[in-house]
Structure 1
Amino acid sequence: MAGGAPWRRLRGRRGECGVLDQVVAGVREGRGQVLVLRGEPGVGKSALVEYLVERASGCRVLRVLGVESEMELAFAGLHQLCVPLMGSLDRIPGPQRDALSVAFGLSAGAAPDRFLVGLAVLSLLAEAAEEQPLVCVVDDAQWLDRVSAQTLAFVARRLLAEGVALVFAARTPAPGAGGDPFAGLREIAVGGLRDDDARALLESVVPGRLDERIRDRVVAETRGNPLALLELTRGLSAAELAGGFGRPDARPLAGQIEQAYLQRIGALPAAAQRLLLAAAAEPVGDAPLLRRVAERLDLGADAAGAAEAAGLIEFGTRVRFHHPLVRSAAYRAADPAVRREVHRALAEATDPASDSDRRAWHRAHAAVEPDEALAGELARSAGRAQARGGIAAAAAFLRRAAELTPDPALRGTRAGAAAQAAFDAGSPDAALELLAAAQLGPLDEPQQARLARLRARVAFARRRGGEALPLLLDAAGRLARAGDASAREAYLDALGSAVFAGRLGGRTGGREVAGAARTAPPGALPARPTDLLLDGLAAWFLDGRAEGGPLLRSALGAFRPDAGGGSGDAMRWLWLTWLVAGELWDDEAWHWMTEQAVRSAREAGALNVLPLALGYRAALSVHAGEFDLAAALIDEADTIAEVTGHSPMAYPALLLTAWRGEDPRAAELIHGAARDATSWGEGRAIGLEHYLVAVLHNGLGRYRDALGHAELAVAHEDLAVHGFALAELVEAAARADAPERAAAALGRLEDHAGAAGTDWSLGMLARSRALLDDGPGAERHYREALARLERGRIAVHLARTHLVYGEWLRREGRRADARGHLRTAHELLRGFGAQAFAERARRELLATGETVRPRPADAGGAAREALTAQEGQIARLAADGLTNSEIGAELFISPRTVEWHLGKVFSKLDVKSRNRLRAALADA
């Protein structure tokens, strides 16, 4: 290795070392730093991590090592990171402290809010950084347990004004692999060395002269992988290398490197091999525990020395392998019987009082025969894991509990519970595997039906239309025939699936499922919200809107928190109640249900629901004209979906794009999203696509195009699409001089809006009537529309009503009256960011003879700089009187970051105190 500049000690890594130096410099200046080092095994990520640690003088360094055998134990990685900081636990807010204590098993309590856990880790790191810059390195991050990986990615996205660096070293994901929690973070790809550096490295470790052809072949076959170059030549003579007899074979590179380690491990004495195996099976590097295990296995004092002399492991205050592949090689190479013996020793050496779950885990790996006592202990560990929010860990414990359960019936029950836990944890493939195991046991008809329902729900979670619908309907029928009370909820799932399948559902549509649902056992008394929802939807599809509308309004009311509706039910059925509220044009229901869902999902840490709740809240914000807030909510939802590995929700962003009307690719984006959804049978996306494109074209004044898309949208009565599309159709047809088509659409809208009976629906109906009327009748309808729409949270529709009213007044020759409405429409629409509709209003104003002045923000020069979406959120919360800590808790950022943002807000709004924020925001 060359001397001189520090980066020269890592051959060929000048660029990577420069980036790491910038990370250290930034954290010393108090700026949060995040970096992901990506690369294949052996490419040098760990060496770069060591370089970073060496360069971080004056900083406190915390290290975490992802361990493959701990991937199913929730919070294991976070525990490694946070244990050195637990002395500061009492300095973070109480709710955060309690959540972290429960997560780490330090105290008992309900399942912790996952967001509070993330915020607690952020606060703990920020507190430590107040004393000294903090550098946290996570090696082998791809093997972190899911909860820890998600939480650390959550923290990484919120580092800004804290002197904290988070650096992850992770393998490059396999092609097509999903669910990468670190996707989107700043990263650099660590590739193989260039040929000249690789040749120099190879020659530095090979004794004697190396044949150039052999050297070039080795470099080519290892693709410049440093570890392969170093390890694959170890133990080979110069003659073998010179003749090419030791060249790497054609196996995958990771396998080659691991094979080299296997050979070195196999050359060790048996005692040293067993000690390596014990260290590999014990993931946290607990040296005292390993000493106790060595005594139990009677390994002798020379075992550790032999393993260290082979350059495979270091035994200090903490046990560290030379490379993560040594750990995997040591574990996989062991004979299964020896592996069980080592796990048994680890279990016996683990304190049952302080670490009962890990002790049970080791006992489970040591077991050969079914053992009900051990299976019961694992089931209890699963319960504790679930209470801590570790659903994936609970699934792992239940899986092994099922495998060790001697009674076939109980084994099937536990496998079914494991399948449910795996599904809840977002692992549908594991859930299906466990369902297959559960169905091998002796099950009665209700049990079989419940498993069938879970299988159908897995299919629905993956593909909301298509194949899920017949499975859900069959499961619901089986539960109904068995007299199981869950049949009603199963039919509700099936009805929801029929709604999403839409026009692609074939012969099985909403009417067919609703008819079957009426055969379900009667619901409990008093009726639950879900019972009312099922009865209302069945009536809506079978008996018509007039009969179903009142029942659905009662059902929505039953979900309200002030009516006793549980937050669990509200979150579980949000995807369906949102559509029902949209079908009823009930913006007030949209408001309280999304407010309740967002709050409940945050409190419960329900990451599978929170992005959906935020997305629907964003959609409501679009209708309310709060486009910046909608963008911020969409960004948060997408971030959470990215962290958790879920697909982002496309609808809110596309709705915002359609209403803004300024992206030349808007129609293409909407069509692409619909094409993706219909590929898996979600036919409702077809209606939604054409409705959104109709909005887009109506805004741009392309009424013929809008008419064509609106007619395609209403070709099927998609829930929460059909009514909105009818209103677009009436406007487009009226403007495109197609009165017959407009009148036909108005007739359908009268039936739809009348059944809903809300101010929103009746206001849109009045506006649509006005578009097809003239004289006093038209004016009366316009005034009614304005009066009704002013009462709701639907400012964009109110602004559009001012627009079409003003357009009508201008055509009537009443220019002075027209200017007032057109000016209102222009100011509102431009303020929202609805650029296409605002431009329509501007053109009409010009036609009345009025000069439209650009607002200050358009004029440049002395205009104030606009707030970002997050700055706007923080400013509004600060204006409402929240402290920095309270704002941080609300938005999941640290108080220091809140302070940093507020400094920018004060500068942009030219205020010096929070007392002026409300007025300044109103002025802006």
Structure 2
Amino acid sequence: MLPSPAEDPLPVPLLEREPELAAAIRAVDALCSPAPSGGLIIYRGEAGIGKTALLTEIRRRAGGRCTVLSATGAETMTSVPFHVVRQLLLPALLTEPEDRLRRLFGDRFELTAPALALAPPTGPLADPQGVRDGLDRVVTRLAEQQRGKPLVVLVDDAHWADAESLTWLAAFAGRLPALPLLVVLAHRSDAYADPRTGPGPGNRPDARTEPAATLLRRLGDQARLTVTLSALTEEATTDLVRSALGHRTDAPFCRELWTVTGGNPYETVELLAQVRDRRIEPVADSAGRLRDLGASSRGDGLADRLEQLGSDATRFAWAAAVLGTDISPRVAARLAGMGRDTADDCAHRLREARVLTGTDPLEFTHPLVATAVYRAIPPAVRTALHGAAAWAVTDAGLGAAAASRHLLEVHPDDDPEVVAQLRDAAREHLAVGAPDAARRCLERALQEPPPPEAYAEVLYELGCAALLTSPDATVRHLRSALDLPGLAAALRTDATCRLAQALAHSNQLRQASVAVATEAARTPPGPARTRLQAAHFMYESFRAAEDDPEGRSRRLADLADRLKGTDSAERALLSLRAFDAMLRGEDAAHVVDLCDRALLDGRPARGVGWTDTEWGFETPAMVGIAYAFTDRPDRARDLFEEAVRAYEISGWSGAHLAFAHTLLGLAHRRAGDLRQAETFLREGLRLADRVGTGLAVHWDAVCLLIDTLVARGRTAEARELADRYAFGPPWPSAMVMPDGPSVLGRLLLAEDRVREAVSELEAAGAALEARGRRNGTWAPWAYDLVRASLAAGDTDRAARNAALARAHAERFGTDTALGEALRCQALLAAPDEARTLLSRAVRHLEASPSRYEHAQAVYDHASALACPAALSRAAALATTCGADALTAQAEEALAHHR
């Protein structure tokens, strides 16, 4: 047994940290000022450099004036989702009465509270972005309600924070300067280099550590101050040695101790403690013993020290290392296979040896100690301890998710019960918004492996779990599941539809279409086959190019035109048919009738609603889009407002909500409310940017926003947006809404790049005509090609396209299409005929909901008439719809007539 340390505690002054501490105190002062300002401070440095001591002192200094919340990352807890967030928030939230707690969460309680273990999940799948938004709201409200004692958040060992907590914190950090909230975070300086090696939770070869390094870099970019802590100088080390061992300590002894420890504060204090334990005289003759003593406080040396404490203490320390943090002495004793009295004695000896601290719960004295003990456990023993810990957690009723971090460390052993536990844990993780944690559990379940009859089901579950985070992995797993026997018919259909969805998300629309068509061919007639057929039609419709567009449209019309919309399958087919007929420029009245039949009392029916997963959000979206382009933007707006509400209530804050805002922008653009359109489109783009890059919703939002900015006369902004998002060829495999090449041609024309505009618009027209897509409101290439051709001096081409646009408009029959076609023809007519055509265009557009196009027609007609009253009206209409450039044109023309 190691000798006991002296009764007097070893003094540990905070040396050479005055500037770092002063920076934090200044930030606390700013937080407590009459005009509080928050922010993020980051301290980084090597292990043992004193980060924890610095945060402890900041906590002490801030505690009298501020409300301090704290958390510490742990190497053994990196796989536990929201572990750090729970440490931070639960102490504050658990003291709140339920009514006040719900007010803190607002309408996000059902979504976010399960992630904090405050309430059971309300559904099988929580949107991760929605959970993060809910955490934003809770922390913001906590910060705002701390009257007189502003909020300080301390996070130590952030390099070991779980991915879910770190992802939230990295996103939330951008809001800190505007909040009365100071976050102080500490992590190892080598975390960027991902130095973690050896056995241990989070250190497996498949552990995703690079995202953590990326998130720490993002946090560093947003910090108001980042400080790298340095080792102690020889002078500071000498002061520390003499304060611990007496002022008569020899200088050579101090110098050797500094050399051995490298000025690392933790190693210095630990080595001093061992010097005191062994009653070593701090004189020059003893300096030679320091190097061996220093080695005993690290790695193998610490393992040797444990052995000196005896086998019982070693087993207890191993059990504690497996449990990680908040160590229950009772559970540790159970894992170590010893009684209570023996466990109490072991804990006492480990406290004396500076391995453990506390009573119940126990903690390791330093993360370096915890790591050294954990890595000293023989692999077979470590695996057995994790297995025992998993069942102990399960027996305690803490749930499969809590046990899963231990099951992840157990060697595969063909155990169906382990597979079942891991599948249950994955479901629990998905329900709280942690799909990556679910993925890890299911990947481990496959290694067990599952029984043959369940293997395909586990692959299916793994594919579904990866859908939100890794479409490529989803494709791989679902294809494997479909290639194996064992999937029930309903699961085969669902797996195929999810496979197609993942392929579509990966810009592989043709493969998505083939996948559902192939499965439909082998599925007997019934609802499942109808669902697969509808999905096939949808993906073919969304493709930018397809093999037999006319044949597909004909087959879809034959299948859907006779339907009444009596069930979800019929409504889905009617939605597809309405969307396709709109694109083809068929009779708009028929398109609207199809849309009406696809809805129930003007709203999506249950089963095909915005949050229904069987048919997907595309079904009601296609109805709304068809309405928007058939002069029914009011109905489209109602549907899209319902989508926003549905996603906000459900906590779907990712791509779905981004798309809903984009669709609302579309409805306002088609109604001619350009200001509102821009507002919703920018919000849709902002939400999309939070999710990823290059998504389908990015293309749609950027396309619509460019069109809106050009309409407002802000061509330079539109170009900057196009360049920033690489809007242009190569186009994605999915169509862009509205037609991307047409909008790019419109932008080029607005920039007076006439030759390029002609080329782009001609190519767009040829591609659309080949597919039979003749809706000039969706794809206004012909209108703009007329103007570009005239600018290039090619009146023959202008006349051909004006006639084509008129023919398409007559077939489609909306007032918007007819008015726009008449405006184009007026460009080629003699003055008297032009005035007549423009008069008719004004009447059509006045009857339409398209206020911007109406304002354009009134301006054109007023200019042709040289009528000041009409010009004044055009200026007023343009101002109302937010067409700033058109307003300026009309006012300038009006000034010339005064």
* Shorter-chain TM-score above 0.5: yes
The answer as to whether partners of 2:806 and 2:822 remain within 8 angstroms in 1 is no
Looking at structure 2, the residues matched to 353 and 693 of structure 1 have their Cα atoms a distance apart, in angstroms, of: 62
2:767 match: secondary structure: coil
Pair 1:190–1:725, CA change in 2 (3 A): same
Are 2:35 and 1:18 aligned? no
Pair 1:583–1:135, CA change in 2 (3 A): same
Looking at structure 2, the residues matched to 578 and 763 of structure 1 have their Cα atoms a distance apart, in angstroms, of: 22
Are 2:59 and 1:53 aligned? yes
Deviation of 1:611 (Å): 1.9
Q: How does 1:585-734 map to 2 (within 5 A)?
A: 586-608=632-654, 609-622=656-669, 629=676, 633=680, 636-637=683-684, 640-641=687-688, 643-645=690-692, 649=698, 651-653=700-702, 654-655=705-706, 656-662=708-714, 664=716, 666-667=718-719, 669-671=721-723, 673-674=725-726, 678=730, 681-682=732-733, 684=735, 690-699=741-750, 706-717=757-768, 723-734=779-790
Pair 1:430–1:849, CA change in 2 (3 A): same
Q: Deviations over 1:661-680 (max 9, x none)?
A: 4464743541453468738x
Looking at structure 1, the residues matched to 710 and 894 of structure 2 have their Cα atoms a distance apart, in angstroms, of: 23
Looking at structure 2, the residues matched to 146 and 96 of structure 1 have their Cα atoms a distance apart, in angstroms, of: 21
Looking at structure 2, the residues matched to 406 and 705 of structure 1 have their Cα atoms a distance apart, in angstroms, of: 59
Aligned partner of 1:413: which letter? E
Name 1:877's counterpart in structure 2: none
The answer as to whether partners of 1:591 and 1:617 remain within 8 angstroms in 2 is yes
Pair 1:308–1:762, CA change in 2 (3 A): farther
The answer as to whether partners of 2:73 and 2:156 remain within 8 angstroms in 1 is yes
Looking at structure 2, the residues matched to 34 and 341 of structure 1 have their Cα atoms a distance apart, in angstroms, of: 45
Pair 1:108–1:474, CA change in 2 (3 A): closer
The answer as to whether partners of 1:24 and 1:56 remain within 8 angstroms in 2 is no
Are 2:150 and 1:133 aligned? yes
Name 2:893's counterpart in structure 1: 844
Pair 1:619–1:444, CA change in 2 (3 A): closer
Are 2:223 and 1:187 aligned? yes
The answer as to whether partners of 2:587 and 2:813 remain within 8 angstroms in 1 is no
Pair 1:533–1:632, CA change in 2 (3 A): closer
Pair 1:636–1:668, CA change in 2 (3 A): closer
Looking at structure 2, the residues matched to 546 and 264 of structure 1 have their Cα atoms a distance apart, in angstroms, of: 80
Q: Deviations over 1:776-806 (max 9, x none)?
A: 6544543454455456664433333333334
Looking at structure 1, the residues matched to 350 and 643 of structure 2 have their Cα atoms a distance apart, in angstroms, of: 55
The answer as to whether partners of 2:446 and 2:458 remain within 8 angstroms in 1 is yes
Looking at structure 2, the residues matched to 478 and 131 of structure 1 have their Cα atoms a distance apart, in angstroms, of: 64
The answer as to whether partners of 2:404 and 2:421 remain within 8 angstroms in 1 is no
The answer as to whether partners of 2:466 and 2:473 remain within 8 angstroms in 1 is yes
2:152 match: secondary structure: strand
Name 1:800's counterpart in structure 2: 856
Deviation of 1:44 (Å): 7.2
Looking at structure 2, the residues matched to 351 and 800 of structure 1 have their Cα atoms a distance apart, in angstroms, of: 70
Q: After the TM superposition, which of the residue ranges 159-168 and 526-535 deviates more from structure 2?
A: 159-168
2:519 aligned to 478, 486, 495, which one? Answer: 478
1:723 match: secondary structure: coil
Pair 1:844–1:46, CA change in 2 (3 A): farther
TM-score by length of 2: 0.73
Looking at structure 1, the residues matched to 134 and 872 of structure 2 have their Cα atoms a distance apart, in angstroms, of: 53
1:37 match: secondary structure: strand
Pair 1:588–1:788, CA change in 2 (3 A): farther
Q: Deviations over 1:489-517 (max 9, x none)?
A: 55555555555652xx5x64745766898
Deviation of 1:260 (Å): 6.0
Question: How many residues get paired?
Answer: 807
1:372 aligned to 416, 423, 444, which one? Answer: 416
Are 2:69 and 1:62 aligned? yes
Name 1:341's counterpart in structure 2: 384
The answer as to whether partners of 1:822 and 1:844 remain within 8 angstroms in 2 is no
Q: How does 1:107-186 map to 2 (within 5 A)?
A: 107-108=119-120, 110-111=122-123, 114=130, 117-118=134-135, 121-122=138-139, 125-126=142-143, 129-130=146-147, 132-141=149-158, 144-145=161-162, 147-149=164-166, 163-169=180-186, 171-172=191-192, 180=215, 183=218, 186=222
The answer as to whether partners of 1:59 and 1:132 remain within 8 angstroms in 2 is yes
2:586 match: secondary structure: helix
Q: Deviations over 1:645-667 (max 9, x none)?
A: 56672543552554454464743
Name 1:882's counterpart in structure 2: none
Q: How does 1:530-549 map to 2 (within 5 A)?
A: 530-536=572-578, 545-546=585-586
Q: How does 1:738-757 map to 2 (within 5 A)?
A: 738-757=794-813
Could you list the runs of 5+ residues in structure 2 that have no partner in the other structure? 1-12, 195-208, 242-249, 276-282
Looking at structure 2, the residues matched to 436 and 304 of structure 1 have their Cα atoms a distance apart, in angstroms, of: 52
Could you list the runs of 5+ residues in structure 1 that have no partner in the other structure? 1-7, 247-256, 851-924
Are 2:99 and 1:90 aligned? yes
The answer as to whether partners of 2:571 and 2:598 remain within 8 angstroms in 1 is yes
Pair 1:156–1:177, CA change in 2 (3 A): closer
Looking at structure 2, the residues matched to 229 and 685 of structure 1 have their Cα atoms a distance apart, in angstroms, of: 63
Deviation of 1:419 (Å): 1.6
Pair 1:309–1:640, CA change in 2 (3 A): farther
Deviation of 1:845 (Å): 3.9
Looking at structure 1, the residues matched to 402 and 840 of structure 2 have their Cα atoms a distance apart, in angstroms, of: 71
Q: Deviations over 1:264-323 (max 9, x none)?
A: 457533666655554454465254565554664567446546665676664366555566
TM-score by length of 1: 0.71
The answer as to whether partners of 2:684 and 2:701 remain within 8 angstroms in 1 is no
1:55 match: secondary structure: helix
Looking at structure 1, the residues matched to 271 and 551 of structure 2 have their Cα atoms a distance apart, in angstroms, of: 66
Looking at structure 2, the residues matched to 283 and 789 of structure 1 have their Cα atoms a distance apart, in angstroms, of: 71
Aligned partner of 1:84: which letter? P
Deviation of 1:563 (Å): 5.0
Aligned partner of 1:442: which letter? P
1:528 match: secondary structure: helix
Looking at structure 1, the residues matched to 429 and 39 of structure 2 have their Cα atoms a distance apart, in angstroms, of: 30
Looking at structure 1, the residues matched to 652 and 502 of structure 2 have their Cα atoms a distance apart, in angstroms, of: 18
Looking at structure 2, the residues matched to 627 and 228 of structure 1 have their Cα atoms a distance apart, in angstroms, of: 65
Are 2:875 and 1:823 aligned? yes
The answer as to whether partners of 1:770 and 1:782 remain within 8 angstroms in 2 is yes
Deviation of 1:364 (Å): 3.5
Aligned partner of 1:723: which letter? A
Looking at structure 1, the residues matched to 338 and 627 of structure 2 have their Cα atoms a distance apart, in angstroms, of: 66
Pair 1:703–1:198, CA change in 2 (3 A): farther
Looking at structure 1, the residues matched to 15 and 531 of structure 2 have their Cα atoms a distance apart, in angstroms, of: 61
Aligned partner of 1:370: which letter? D
The answer as to whether partners of 1:452 and 1:475 remain within 8 angstroms in 2 is yes
The answer as to whether partners of 2:418 and 2:445 remain within 8 angstroms in 1 is yes
The answer as to whether partners of 1:540 and 1:549 remain within 8 angstroms in 2 is no
Computed over aligned residues only, the root mean square deviation of the Cα atoms, in angstroms, reads 5.4
The answer as to whether partners of 1:38 and 1:188 remain within 8 angstroms in 2 is no
2:153 match: secondary structure: strand
Aligned partner of 2:586: which letter? A
Aligned partner of 1:652: which letter? A
Are 2:510 and 1:469 aligned? yes
Looking at structure 2, the residues matched to 577 and 273 of structure 1 have their Cα atoms a distance apart, in angstroms, of: 68
Looking at structure 1, the residues matched to 252 and 554 of structure 2 have their Cα atoms a distance apart, in angstroms, of: 84
Name the % identity: 22
Q: Deviations over 1:171-217 (max 9, x none)?
A: 549899598599588325746568x988988999999889x9xx99x
Pair 1:10–1:705, CA change in 2 (3 A): farther
Aligned partner of 2:663: which letter? Y
Looking at structure 1, the residues matched to 157 and 551 of structure 2 have their Cα atoms a distance apart, in angstroms, of: 52
Flag the structure with larger Rg.
2
Deviation of 1:416 (Å): 0.9
